[in-house]
């Protein structure tokens, strides 16, 4: 799959910072550094989503024990018989 180039305009202070990070030897070039920043942001957004789900679960009230019907439904979903 061909990769279309993306141009990014940065102020000189950020260009200098990126150049320093590349010069440190940790990254091969500016594109590699920016890809790593995007991957880190993706992971952080996944954590934000997960934290929101945990908070939603915690604020939904007391937990109820699983019933045999709950387990039957889960088995149905896992086997593809229930959507």
**Residue 75 in domain:** no
Residue 74 included in any domain: no
Domain count, the chain: 1
| 32 within a domain of the structure (yes/no) | yes
pLDDT tier, 4 (very low <50, low <70, confident <90, very high otherwise): confident
Distance CA 31, CA 6 (A): 10
* 44 occurs within a structural domain: yes
* Residue pLDDT, tens place only, 32-79: 999 999 999 999 999 999 999 999 999 999 989 999 999 999 999 999
Higher pLDDT pick, 82 / 42: 42
Please give the Cα distance from 8 to 1 (Å, whole number).
21
Give the Cα separation of 59 and 55 in Å (integer): 6
∠ CA 68-69-71, nearest 5°, is 65
Residue 23 within any structural domain of the chain: yes
Domain-located, residue 29:
yes
Domain extent for 29: 9-60
C-alpha 58/C-alpha 50 separation (Å) is: 12
pLDDT (0 to 100) of residue 5: 87
The distance of Cα 72 from the centroid of its chain, to the nearest Å, equals 32
């Amino acid at each position: 799959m061909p990769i279309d180039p993306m141009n990014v305009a940065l102020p000189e202070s950020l260009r200098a910072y990126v150049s320093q990070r590349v010069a440190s030897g940790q990254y091969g070039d500016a594109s590699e550094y920016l890809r790593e920043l995007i991957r880190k942001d993706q992971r952080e957004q996944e954590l934000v989503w997960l934290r929101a789900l945990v908070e939603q679960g915690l604020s939904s009230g007391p937990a109820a024990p699983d019933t045999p019907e709950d387990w039957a439904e889960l088995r149905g979903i896992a086997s593809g018989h229930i959507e």
